[in-house]
């Protein structure tokens, strides 16, 4: 660890205040019994009760969970294959194109992705009659596509840390490639697959723009419902919803960070001296 300059420390704390002030404000306001942002009417769980009685919002939340789970699962399968192929198969025809297509969704403006997928689904329905109409199917296909990019990146970075010696050993001992993948590569990839799935789940669950293009009547996801509510102005039950969602995410993220940190500490104390500093 290096000594930190005063400027760096001040800027970091200012940055963190900037990141968290709005979130904390929203969380505090979710317990405000007054509808007004500026009047503290006393502590109350009123908006949470309101939220639990809002059938439309709960249906939307359930639909979003369903879509996110399906999309994340598909994205993990596809993203793992893509990541594995790109980092373990050496050179092959179309590798550059595939690498480009895997990473492009990370920066592609969402309005373009949404529009292009919708036009694809409309054309497919005309040509082959599938997917019929727009709804859960089109939402899952779209979300799986942009989420697989993130999973592929996570998997690739994990594979880059593993040097492949164990896989080679398995192959030398006569395992078929498929067995070596299932018995050796996949267990070592497991942490990356879990974080990839969670990342894909949250990205799908939070998506508004792409979903708005490819969803149909009766398949309004939670972000779409929130957006139409928020467009009409501040509504305190959205504060309550945001507080619940952020608390869940924060718990998961810090649990993960804590586990990763203790693992790192253990490895370091177990192999003192062999671990290059800063690795």
Partner 1 sequence: MTANAHLEQPARAAPGTPRNGSPQQFGRQAVTAVPMLWLLVFFALPFVFVMKISLAEADIAVPPYTALLTWVDNKILSIHIDLSKYLFLFEDSLYLAAYLGSLKIAAVSTIFCLFIAFPIALFIARQKPETRIFWLALVMLPFWTSMLLRVYAWIGILQSNGIINSVLLELGLIHEPLALLQTDFAVYLGIIYSYLPFMVLPLYATLEKLDETLIEASADLGARPTTSFLTVTLPLALPGVVAGCVMVFVPAVGEFVIPALMGGPDTLMIGRVLWDEFFSNRDWPMASAVAIVMLIVLVVPVMLLRSRGRHSLGHG
Least distance between partner 1 and beta carbon 241 (Å): 8
- Count interface residues toward partner 1 (CB under 8 A): 119
Q: Does 19 bind partner 1 (CB under 8 A)?
A: yes
Q: Which stretch binds partner 1 (CB under 8 A): 44-52, 53-61, 129-137, 200-208?
A: 200-208
**Nearer to partner 1 (CB atom), residue 55 or residue 92:** 92
Q: Does 254 bind partner 1 (CB under 8 A)?
A: yes
Question: If we measure between CA atoms, which residue out of 262, 255, 214, 243 comes closest to residue 51?
Answer: 243
Helix (H, G, I), strand (E, B) or coil at 233: coil
**Nearer to partner 1 (CB atom), residue 53 or residue 262:** 262
Least distance between partner 1 and beta carbon 159 (Å): 8
Least distance between partner 1 and beta carbon 230 (Å): 5
- Residue 43 phi, psi (nearest 5): -70, 135
Q: Does 5 bind partner 1 (CB under 8 A)?
A: yes
- In angstroms, the Cα distances linking 67 to 70, 94, 125, 273 are 5, 31, 21, 47
Q: Does 81 bind partner 1 (CB under 8 A)?
A: yes
Q: Does 109 bind partner 1 (CB under 8 A)?
A: yes
Question: If we measure between CA atoms, which residue out of 85, 30, 63 comes closest to residue 239?
Answer: 30
Tell which one of 29, 67, 76, 139 touches partner 1 (CB under 8 A).
Answer: 29
Segment 233 to 252, residues that bind partner 1, using CB under 8 A: 234, 238-239, 241-242, 245-246, 249-250, 252
From CA 215, how far away is CA 71, in angstroms rounded?
14
Q: Which residues have C-beta within 8 Å of that of residue 34, sequence separation ≥ 6?
A: 40, 41, 42
Least distance between partner 1 and beta carbon 219 (Å): 16
Burial class (CB in 10 A: 0-12, 13-18, 19+), 216: middle
Segment 161 to 190, residues that bind partner 1, using CB under 8 A: 161, 164, 167-168, 171-172, 177-178, 180
Q: Which stretch binds partner 1 (CB under 8 A): 32-40, 42-50, 53-61, 129-137?
A: 32-40
Least distance between partner 1 and beta carbon 64 (Å): 10
Q: Which stretch binds partner 1 (CB under 8 A): 45-53, 54-62, 119-127, 128-136?
A: 119-127
H-helix segments, the chain:
6-29, 46-52, 55-88, 95-103, 110-128, 136-161, 165-172, 177-180, 186-206, 209-214, 222-231, 236-270
Tell which one of 44, 50, 116, 135 touches partner 1 (CB under 8 A).
Answer: 116
Segment 45 to 74, residues that bind partner 1, using CB under 8 A: none
Query: In this structure, are residues 42 and 108 in contact, taking their beta carbons and an 8 Å threshold?
Result: no
DSSP symbol at 92: -
């Amino acid at each position: 660890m290096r000594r930190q300059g005063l400027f760096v420390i001040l800027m970091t704390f200012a940055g963190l205040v900037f990141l968290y002030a709005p979130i904390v404000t929203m969380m505090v306001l979710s317990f405000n019994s007054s509808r007004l942002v500026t009047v503290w009417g006393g502590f109350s769980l009123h908006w949470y009760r309101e939220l639990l009685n809002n059938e439309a919002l709960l249906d939307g939340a359930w639909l979003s969970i369903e879509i996110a789970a399906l999309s994340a699962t598909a994205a993990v399968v596809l993203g793992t294959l893509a990541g594995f192929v790109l980092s373990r198969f050496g050179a092959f025809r179309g590798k550059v194109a595939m690498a480009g297509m895997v990473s492009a969704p990370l920066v592609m403006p969402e309005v373009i992705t949404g529009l292009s997928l919708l036009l694809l689904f409309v054309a497919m329905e005309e040509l082959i009659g599938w997917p019929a109409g727009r709804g859960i199917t089109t939402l899952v296909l779209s979300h799986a596509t942009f989420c697989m990019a993130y999973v592929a990146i996570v998997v690739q970075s994990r594979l880059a840390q593993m040097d492949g010696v164990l896989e080679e050993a398995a192959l030398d001992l006569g395992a078929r490639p498929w067995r070596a993948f299932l018995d050796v590569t996949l267990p070592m990839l497991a942490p990356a697959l879990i974080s990839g799935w969670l990342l894909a789940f949250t990205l799908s669950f939070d998506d508004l723009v792409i979903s708005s293009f490819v969803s149909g009547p009766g398949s309004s996801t939670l972000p779409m419902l929130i957006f139409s509510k928020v467009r009409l102005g501040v509504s305190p039950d959205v504060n309550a919803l945001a507080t619940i969602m952020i608390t869940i995410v924060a718990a998961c993220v810090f649990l993960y960070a804590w586990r990763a940190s203790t693992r790192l500490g253990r490895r370091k104390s177990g192999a003192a001296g062999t671990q290059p500093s800063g690795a």
